[in-house]
């Protein structure tokens, strides 16, 4: 079978390595840092029900709810199936609730209206100002463990995973992509790896990787800040019942509560600063929903960049769709042998991989059905016990 080179060891690369090995391809994955050291290892940890996107981004909402249901079946050990609440704390929020409920139901998201009393019975730490709530099938994901489930299974099925190996050059000398040059940071040596097809799954860095083959892709890095406070202020995921904005999600993660997030746009995916005013606003906004957040000690603060698909028409960064797209650069730029996978969410990496592997099957002339919807993933715990040692 063809040898596929995957660039990027985040959630998308992990899910793609899994899908391709299940379909019988030979897979080599290169990651410039450690596995999951990009955005995937630093996200909020919300398994989206899709409700956050249901009103303004229906495509992403539908993708999220479908994948939410699939991941509950194939990777239950990476999830806390705790559900989420959207809470209204102002008249405007309450008015938005009807639009939100209708959009959820139209997207296939099970949403149930709760009175303030019912919501506070489920989550006593909610502000007494709560007016009404919607219960939705959000859940908590362990960002690292979910992706390691994909890596463990891919590795068991023969994928070769190479952390600390940066792709520095893409070979297009033959008039098509024939391989990549790797710098191995452990040995400080470079080498050429030949492949039949290259997949650019470099997330927010996809623009830089595509440029190595002279290709321009519409990726838009969109960083955001996250704040972890001590203590689980709630057991459910809490969202503000209003159009997606800043400081409107609280995700319980083990003994912490992770508050998020903000969003700005940059050309540099490494420009993940920690603006102080973002931290203050996130804590202030989240404590309007759950006052205990305001007094909780801050354990850590970090940021990461979303791999958004550029959209010059979007009226604000929050309006940029969270859907994904897979580009065959033979069609976009006349360059055969390379495809780029852009956009998406940690929640939807399996679907992103399915679409990309379908494209690879079409390009290589194989008719092999995707099996990742129903194949249970090996636990992340098995990662170090299965497969070959992939290092240099
Ligand atoms: C603040 C924030 C909060 C978020 N919260 C959520 C959430 O709660 N739920 C959710 O579903 N999604 C969330 N997301 C989105 C989600 O994190 C991303 O969509 C997803 O993790 C992207 O995965 P990826 O594999 O595409 O990218 P990445 O995880 O970034 O992987 C790409 C990898 O490519 C590597 N790379 C780059 N260049 C090279 C090269 N030349 N050679 C080799 N490797 C290279 C990078 O080092 C990186 O590890 C959030 C994002 C942000 C920023």
Q: Coil, strand, or helix at residue 262?
A: coil
Q: Cα–Cα distances in Å, from 383 out to 25, 348, 358, 389?
A: 20, 21, 26, 11
pTM, two decimal places: 0.97
Pocket test for ligand 1, best of 220, 346, 348, 350 (most atoms within 8 A of CB): 346
Instruction: Choose among 85, 83, 66: nearest CA to 140.
Output: 83
Tokens representing residue 252 in the block: 């319980």
From the CA of 209, give the closest atom in ligand 1. Answer: 41
pLDDT tens, per residue, the chain with 392 residues? 999 999 999 999 999 999 999 999 999 999 999 999 999 999 999 999 999 999 999 999 999 999 999 999 999 999 999 999 999 999 999 999 999 999 999 999 999 999 999 999 999 999 999 999 999 999 999 999 999 999 999 999 999 999 999 999 999 999 999 999 999 999 999 999 999 999 999 999 999 999 999 999 999 999 999 999 999 999 999 999 999 999 999 999 999 999 999 999 999 999 889 999 999 999 999 999 999 999 999 999 999 999 999 999 999 999 999 999 999 999 999 999 999 999 999 999 999 999 999 999 999 999 999 999 999 999 999 998 887 655 54
Ligand 1 atom nearest the C-alpha of 182 is 42
Residue nearest ligand 1's atom 2 by CA: 43
Which residue among 6, 18, 34, 44 is best mutated to probe the pocket of ligand 1, counting the most ligand atoms within 8 A of its Cβ?
Answer: 44
All domains in the chain, ordered by first residue:
3-40+144-218+322-385 (3.50.50.60), 82-139+220-307 (3.30.9.10)
Distance 344 CA to ligand 1 centre (A): 9
3-state secondary structure of 234: coil
Ligand 1 atom, smallest distance to 304 CA: 53
Nearest-angstrom CA–CA distance, 276 and 112: 37
Whole-number Å distance, alpha carbon 99 to ligand 1 midpoint, is 31
Torsion of CA 8, 10, 16, 21, to 10 degrees: 90
* Pocket perturbation via mutation, ligand 1, pick of 205, 248, 258, 265 by most ligand atoms within 8 A of CB: 205
The set of protein residues with a Cβ atom below 6 angstroms from ligand 1 is 7-13, 30-33, 37-40, 43-46, 48, 166-167, 201-205, 209, 224, 226, 260-261, 304-307, 344-347
Q: Output the CA 13–ligand 1 centroid distance in Å.
A: 10
Index of the ligand 1 atom closest to the CA of residue 344: 19
Q: Residue 155 is encoded by which pair of tokens?
A: 């590795």
The contacts of residue 340 (CB under 8 Å, 6+ apart) are: 199, 200, 206, 209, 210, 215, 217, 326, 327, 329
Probe residue for ligand 1, chosen from 33, 38, 338 as the CB with the greatest number of ligand atoms within 8 Å: 38
Q: Residue 276, class by beta-carbon neighbours within 10 Å (0-12 exposed, 13-18 middle, 19+ buried)?
A: exposed
- Euclidean distance between CA atoms 127 and 236, whole angstroms: 14
Cα separation of 368 and 371, whole Å?
Answer: 9
Residue 239 CA to residue 88 CA, distance in Å, equals 9
For 321, half-sphere exposure in the C-beta direction (CA atoms, 13 angstrom radius) is: 19
Six token digits for residue 297: 């000690």
């Amino acid at each position: 079978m063809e040898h596929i080179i995957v660039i990027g060891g985040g959630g998308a690369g992990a899910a793609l390595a899994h899908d391709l090995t299940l379909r019988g391809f030979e897979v080599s994955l290169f990651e410039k840092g450690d596995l999951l050291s990009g955005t995937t290892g630093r996200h909020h940890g919300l398994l989206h029900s899709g409700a956050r996107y249901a009103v303004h981004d229906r495509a992403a909402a539908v993708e999220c709810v479908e994948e939410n249901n699939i991941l509950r079946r194939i990777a239950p050990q990476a999830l806390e199936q705790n559900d989420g609440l959207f809470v209204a704390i102002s008249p405007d929020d309450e008015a938005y609730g009807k639009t939100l409920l209708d959009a959820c139901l139209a997207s296939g998201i099970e949403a149930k209206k709760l009175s303030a009393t019912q919501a506070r019975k489920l989550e006593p730490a909610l502000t007494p100002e709560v007016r009404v709530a919607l219960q939705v099938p959000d859940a908590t994901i362990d960002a690292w463990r979910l992706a390691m489930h994909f890596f463990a299974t891919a590795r068991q099925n023969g994928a070769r995973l190479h952390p600390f190996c940066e792709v520095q050059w893409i070979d297009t000398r033959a008039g098509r992509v024939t391989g990549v040059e790797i710098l191995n940071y452990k040995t400080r040596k470079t080498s050429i790896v030949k492949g039949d097809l290259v997949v650019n799954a470099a997330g927010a860095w996809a623009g830089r990787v595509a440029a190595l083959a002279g290709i321009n892709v519409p990726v838009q890095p969109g960083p955001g800040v996250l704040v972890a406070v001590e203590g689980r202020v709630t057991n459910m995921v809490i969202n503000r019942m209003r159009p997606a904005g800043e400081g409107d999600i609280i995700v319980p993660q083990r003994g912490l509560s992770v508050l998020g997030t903000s969003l700005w746009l940059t050309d540099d995916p490494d420009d993940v600063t920690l603006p102080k005013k973002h931290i203050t606003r996130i804590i202030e906004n989240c404590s309007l929903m759950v006052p205990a957040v305001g007094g909780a000690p801050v354990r850590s603060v970090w940021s990461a960049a979303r791999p958004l698909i550029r959209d010059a028409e979007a009226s604000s960064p929050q309006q940029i769709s969270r859907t994904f797209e897979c580009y065959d650069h033979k069609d976009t730029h006349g360059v055969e042998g390379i495809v780029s996978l852009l956009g998406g969410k940690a929640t939807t990496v399996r679907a992103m991989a399915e679409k990309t592997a379908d494209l690879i099957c079409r390009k290589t002339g194989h008719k092999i059905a995707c099996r990742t919807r129903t194949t249970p993933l090996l636990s992340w715990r098995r990662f170090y016990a299965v497969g070959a040692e992939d290092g240099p």
